[in-house]
Structure 1
């Protein structure tokens, strides 16, 4: 599952785009230069404001007569709408840095200097966008967050745990969905990394139970060998927030996890 990145230097732009689409459509056009296949599931990354605060949501691509679109589930659209309103109402912490003409959805003009006035120093380069596998590891956000890793494969548990603990996350592991269900009812976590193929109750059944029966907003990322499009559709329908296929690359998994942590906080 690949990512599609949107960049909005001004939070009001993001709020207006979400508001213009309307609650009935739940869809957005693609940013310039992005291409998708009909029915493909992608991770839409929204990089907003001068502080480059990010959120993300899974979406299904649809090829419409007026061009390709990304279609979102109602619960994910509600999250985007809440995030857009929150960012639009946030007091600005600093003026936005100058951008090159034509970047993203916004063009900024260079200020006019008075005679003899020295030009200001160039702004520092922006941080890399969330969701691209070229990001350096480790990310910097979400340290000390609690992660529950649910997988019956001890090698996967050890590798993922070591990777996340090395960057300051607190990791708890469980080997079955039943153990995980008991744990999340007793303890609080910031994110669950969940395998599909577990001994009795499957990961999809666990995710569905957490969402529908317990009503927990706990972010869930599937880390599984199930790689078909139908599997992804079923996982997202059960309430999953993201989906990574084994074998995985540590930078990509790390970027996905920290993107979900940022969105949740």
Structure 2
């Protein structure tokens, strides 16, 4: 079973993601409520996928992506979430190593399809 880290300070969103991914049998969801907690969990354990919001306390999703790619040197797949769909933000996320970008609000079914696609690679 896949181990998925969801980094977001929106408890309702994390609950929705956890419900949808577990219902689709896509993996175990571990939550990080902020960037500091995300970094600690990433140093302690390996994950099959990271889903991170851009705007979080302490460290942004872009900083988390950079941390995974540069500091940890891992190729863990990363999906970046953001209510901000600005082209430069999307491009920056991909430039630093994100595998996918989803603009909020999003459909839980769309997220599940994207997670399935990434986990099958």
Instruction: Name the SS for the 1:260 alignment partner.
Output: helix
- Shift of the alpha carbon at 1:184? 1.3
What is the aligned partner in structure 2 of residue 159 from structure 1? 16
**Partner residue of 1:176 out of 34, 39, 45:** 34
Q: CA RMSD in A?
A: 0.9
Structure number with higher relative contact order (C-alpha < 8 Å, ≥ 6 residues apart):
2
What is the aligned partner in structure 1 of residue 57 from structure 2? 199
**Partner residue of 1:240 out of 93, 98, 113:** 98
TM-score (norm 2): 0.95
5+ residue gaps in structure 1?
1-143
Matching of residue 229 in structure 1 with residue 53 in structure 2: no
Instruction: Name the SS for the 1:193 alignment partner.
Output: strand
Query: Aligned partners of 2:16 and 2:116: how far apart in 1?
Result: 17
**Partner residue of 1:189 out of 25, 36, 47:** 47
TM-score (norm 1): 0.44
Query: Aligned partners of 1:181 and 1:211: how far apart in 2?
Result: 12
Bigger helix fraction: 2
Q: Tell me the matched-pair count.
A: 120
Structure 1 runs of 4+ aligned residues shifted over 3 Å read: none
What is the aligned partner in structure 1 of residue 113 from structure 2? 255
